[in-house]
């Protein structure tokens, strides 16, 4: 109990205790970050509850007083606020942990035993709290890892049993939180292919609101495991109390938001237990994925910047590093290409000025050639008709053209029309007695099977071993899991209900092994768009594909929403032929993410080519601010006819302002200035419009100097209008 916070109570009342008698030497555990605190307190029976969540106090000793302020002490008190709600005993509300013991008994109680806080460094600490069942040999460790400066907490639990025989985990949440506020406003997201990340905000009312996925492989297709929760009233970008939360798990998830009978809010977040009871052998540990959250009293903008800072520094592979701009051939050729065509595209990429050429789907399979999406998936050998000289030749050709080479794979999937399926039908997830059900004519491979894990690892390992100069991987995944059944689990006498979890664990094993051997190669996480992204996957991937919908108008809205949770350095954003907007608009939108192209460069007219070449060079000059800077969302396209957002450097000497028209009624546009953020009021700035289309002029005066105070008080008008539908302005220190 190194940093234990034991307090002798003088108070006569202890919050949430059924008989509200005070406890001597009550254990109070503050989990603090720079601005916030989560206060846990054990009652006299040792049940650990949450007494406070919010802005931290100057003096820790006052946390003991919080309990005395509550009058919510009827028979339900002490149930709702549990720090990790056990099922089947005194506790009758929605559980965080539900198990069946080796003898079939389903009751569980969890009593505080000890806790300790270990400092990883000045900014990162881990508080671990041990709870035990007094009757059965079950132990749970609640872990709260805090990132002090970023106000981020990562929470997970570890479940262990020393019972004679194994136990069954029925529900096993990562985190259980409790909030006390006047009202709660939940923003969650819905979508489907090409329509990802539609936000909806609702006021929570009594009962349980569940956000979940049961889709397996492409778990996020209809809904991601990320949300915003405002307290008292809906938070804005700059005002209000708001929590941003997300589960770091690339599979089924479930989040229960329960407004209880006191109008307090319980949150239980973790893996979805749907069809997923999970056996735990004696003396083995079960570690849940992390639930990650940040809280701000100053609105969504600050909360998301904190999350970005945390993610770049501690989570995303090479999060503070660099990225490659690229030319992708998917929409330029689809499956129809050969060596000659590709060599031409390498030269086009070089002409454009991007760093890398990315060869997409269609390069493999011979017996059932991959000439469309109905065949070949699983047969990872170069198609000899299209590529008689193999990948090695392409890598060399690209190098000769002066561009790096990257390649697409979809290693978790198989087409029934493939040699792989013929050879290993038992490697495929499908019900033995039911008709197969496909999404995009394909099925997932059974990654719970170690042989399949080796196979998937082998695809990438072979590519890299034979072609060490491969500089980029796009990892796709285009089907959800229907008919969840594993021949491997059956044969090895394990439970079918392990499949959803063991799939994800198998995927992480493959990625772990890959990263051990190839730690640096940038990889894009793609899921037919679909936003298969979360903070566990981003330990292995450098970026993700937010959507196949690259219509820039749609991307403005989508990237806006993704940006609450993931920094721009991870948003792969390509200039394509989707949408009706001119090339400049499409390019300006892609430039607020990680820029790429998916167009036929040779079809560009002279001016478009000249503009694009300049745009790539301009992007090279501003990318550091976009990738590593602080994001301020200024004008919300959901509420206005245009969107505006700004990235500024940490020392506020440079900022890039992006503005885009999203509506066009009644001569819409920025008639008046709007306030900028993220600048230094005392600094003098000059402004300059970037990325102008050849032969167009700007109305923005370059010789005008403004104080940061002016720009943040009066504001600035980028003069965005139907005639100037997208505008990028650089704001830089005038000295």
Binding site for ligand DGJ (CB under 6 A): 330, 360-361, 408, 476, 478, 526, 528-529, 545, 548
Task: Give whichever of 96 and 409 is closer to ligand DGJ, judged by the CB atom.
Answer: 409
Task: Give whichever of 413 and 657 is closer to ligand DGJ, judged by the CB atom.
Answer: 413
How far apart are CB 526 and ligand DGJ at their closest, in Å? 5
Residues 479/444, Cβ–Cβ less than 8 Å:
yes
Task: Give whichever of 123 and 440 is closer to ligand DGJ, judged by the CB atom.
Answer: 440
Tokens matching residue 106? 């389903």
Rounded to whole angstroms, the Cα distance separating 406 from 383 reads 17
At a CB cut-off of 8 Å and minimum separation 6, what does 327 contact? 345, 348, 349, 352, 354, 356, 357, 358, 403, 596, 597, 598, 601
- Scan for tokens 């990883």, then name that residue: 120
How far apart are CB 336 and ligand DGJ at their closest, in Å? 13
- How is the chain split among helix, strand and coil, in percent rounded to 5? 25, 30, 45
Helix (H, G, I), strand (E, B) or coil at 270: strand
How far apart are CB 545 and ligand DGJ at their closest, in Å? 6
Nearest C-alpha neighbor of 545 from the set 481, 474, 480, 599? 474
At a CB cut-off of 8 Å and minimum separation 6, what does 422 contact? none
How far apart are CB 713 and ligand DGJ at their closest, in Å? 44
How far apart are CB 305 and ligand DGJ at their closest, in Å? 29
Task: Give whichever of 545 and 632 is closer to ligand DGJ, judged by the CB atom.
Answer: 545
Q: Give the nearest residue (CB) to ligand DGJ.
A: 361
Phi, psi values for residue 512, rounded to 5°: -60, -45
What residues are paired with 699 via a beta bridge? none
Task: Give whichever of 78 and 376 is closer to ligand DGJ, judged by the CB atom.
Answer: 376
Task: Give whichever of 524 and 553 is closer to ligand DGJ, judged by the CB atom.
Answer: 524
What residues are paired with 167 via a beta bridge? 280
- Scan for tokens 């005993």, then name that residue: 89
Helix (H, G, I), strand (E, B) or coil at 309: helix
At a CB cut-off of 8 Å and minimum separation 6, what does 9 contact? 22, 23, 24, 25, 26, 64
How far apart are CB 361 and ligand DGJ at their closest, in Å? 4
How far apart are CB 195 and ligand DGJ at their closest, in Å? 14
Task: Give whichever of 457 and 578 is closer to ligand DGJ, judged by the CB atom.
Answer: 578
How far, in whole angstroms, is CA 201 from its chain's centroid? Answer: 19
Distances (CA, A) of 657 to 630, 668, 710, 725: 12, 19, 16, 14
Task: Give whichever of 330 and 455 is closer to ligand DGJ, judged by the CB atom.
Answer: 330
N- to C-terminal Cα separation, the chain: 54
Query: To 10 degrees, the CA torsion angle through 426, 427, 430, 434?
Result: -20
How far apart are CB 333 and ligand DGJ at their closest, in Å? 11
- CA max distance for the chain: 84
Residues recorded for the chain = 735
Task: Give whichever of 176 and 328 is closer to ligand DGJ, judged by the CB atom.
Answer: 328
How far apart are CB 228 and ligand DGJ at their closest, in Å? 26
Nearest C-alpha neighbor of 410 from the set 460, 451, 367, 446? 460
How far apart are CB 365 and ligand DGJ at their closest, in Å? 13
Task: Give whichever of 141 and 572 is closer to ligand DGJ, judged by the CB atom.
Answer: 572
Task: Give whichever of 307 and 354 is closer to ligand DGJ, judged by the CB atom.
Answer: 354
How far apart are CB 543 and ligand DGJ at their closest, in Å? 13
């Amino acid at each position: 109990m190194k940093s234990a916070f034991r307090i002798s109570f003088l108070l006569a009342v202890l919050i949430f205790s059924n008989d509200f008698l005070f406890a001597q030497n009550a254990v109070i555990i503050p989990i603090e970050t720079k601005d916030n605190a989560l206060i846990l307190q054990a009652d006299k029976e040792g049940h650990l509850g949450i007494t406070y969540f919010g802005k931290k106090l100057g003096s820790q000793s006052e946390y003991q007083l919080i309990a005395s302020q509550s009058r919510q002490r009827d028979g339900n008190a002490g149930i709702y606020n549990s720090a990790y709600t056990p099922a089947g005993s005194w506790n009758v509300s929605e559980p965080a942990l539900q198990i069946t013991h080796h003898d079939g008994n389903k009751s569980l109680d969890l009593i505080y035993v000890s806790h300790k806080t270990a400092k990883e460094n000045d900014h990162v600490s881990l508080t671990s709290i041990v709870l035990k069942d007094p009757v059965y040999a079950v132990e749970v460790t609640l872990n709260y890892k805090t990132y002090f400066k970023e106000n981020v907490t990562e929470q997970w639990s570890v479940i262990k049993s020393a019972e004679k025989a194994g136990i069954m985990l029925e529900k096993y949440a990562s985190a259980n939180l409790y909030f006390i506020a006047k009202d709660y406003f939940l923003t969650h997201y819905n979508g489907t292919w090409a329509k990802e990340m539609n936000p909806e905000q609702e006021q929570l009312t009594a009962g349980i609101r569940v956000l979940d996925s049961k889709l397996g492989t492409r778990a996020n297709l209809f809904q991601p495991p990320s949300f915003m929760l405002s307290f008292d009233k809906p938070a804005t970008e700059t005002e209000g109390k708001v929590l941003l939360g997300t589960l770091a798990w690339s599979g089924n998830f479930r989040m229960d938001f329960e407004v209880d009978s006191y109008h307090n809010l319980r949150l239980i977040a973790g893996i979805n237990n749907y069809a997923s009871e999970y056996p735990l052998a004696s003396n083995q540990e079960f570690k849940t994925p992390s639930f990650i959250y940040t809280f701000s009293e100053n609105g969504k903008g600050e909360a998301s910047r904190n999350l970005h800072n945390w993610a770049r520094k501690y989570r995303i592979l090479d999060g503070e590093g660099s990225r490659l701009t690229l030319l992708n051939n998917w929409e330029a050729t689809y499956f129809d290409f050969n060596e000659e065509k590709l060599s031409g595209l390498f030269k086009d990429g070089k002409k454009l000025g991007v760093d890398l050429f990315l060869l997409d789907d269609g390069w493999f399979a011979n017996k059932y050639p991959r000439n469309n999406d109905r065949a070949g998936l699983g047969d990872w050998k170069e198609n000899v008709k299209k590529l008689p000289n193999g990948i090695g030749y392409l890598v060399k050709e690209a190098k000769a053209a002066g561009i790096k080479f990257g390649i697409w794979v979809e290693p978790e999937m198989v087409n029934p029309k493939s040699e792989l399926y013929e050879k290993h039908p038992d490697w495929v997830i499908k019900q033995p007695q039911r008709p197969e059900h496909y999404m995009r004519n394909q099925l997932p491979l059974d990654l719970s099977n170690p042989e399949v894990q080796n196979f998937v690892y082998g695809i990438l390992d072979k590519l890299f071993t034979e072609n060490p100069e491969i500089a980029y991987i796009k990892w796709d995944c285009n089907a959800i899991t229907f008919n969840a059944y594993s021949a491997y689990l059956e044969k090895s006498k394990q439970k079918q209900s392990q499949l959803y979890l063991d799939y994800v664990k198998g995927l992480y094993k493959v990625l772990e092994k890959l990263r051990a051997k190839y730690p640096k190669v940038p990889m894009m996480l793609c899921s037919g768009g679909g936003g298969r992204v979360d903070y566990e996957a981003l330990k292995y991937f450098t970026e993700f594909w937010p959507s196949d919908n690259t219509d820039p108008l749609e991307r403005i809205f989508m990237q806006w929403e993704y940006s609450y949770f993931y920094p721009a350095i991870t948003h792969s954003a390509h200039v394509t032929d989707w949408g009706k907007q001119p090339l400049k608009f499409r390019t300006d939108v892609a430039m607020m993410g990680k820029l790429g192209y998916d167009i036929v460069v040779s079809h560009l007219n002279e001016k478009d080519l000249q503009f694009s070449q300049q745009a790539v060079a301009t992007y090279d000059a501003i990318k550091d601010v976009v990738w590593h800077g602080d994001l301020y969302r200024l004008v919300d396209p959901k509420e206005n006819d245009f969107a505006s957002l700004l990235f500024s450097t940490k020392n506020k000497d440079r900022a890039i302002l992006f503005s885009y028209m999203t509506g066009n009624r009644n001569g819409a546009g920025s008639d008046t200035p709007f306030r900028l953020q993220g600048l230094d009021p005392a600094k003098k700035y000059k402004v300059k419009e970037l990325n102008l289309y050849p032969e167009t002029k700007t109305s923005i005066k370059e010789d005008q100097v403004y104080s940061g105070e002016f720009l943040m008080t009066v504001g600035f008008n980028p003069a965005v209008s139907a005639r100037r539908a997208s505008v990028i302005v650089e704001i830089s220190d005038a000295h």
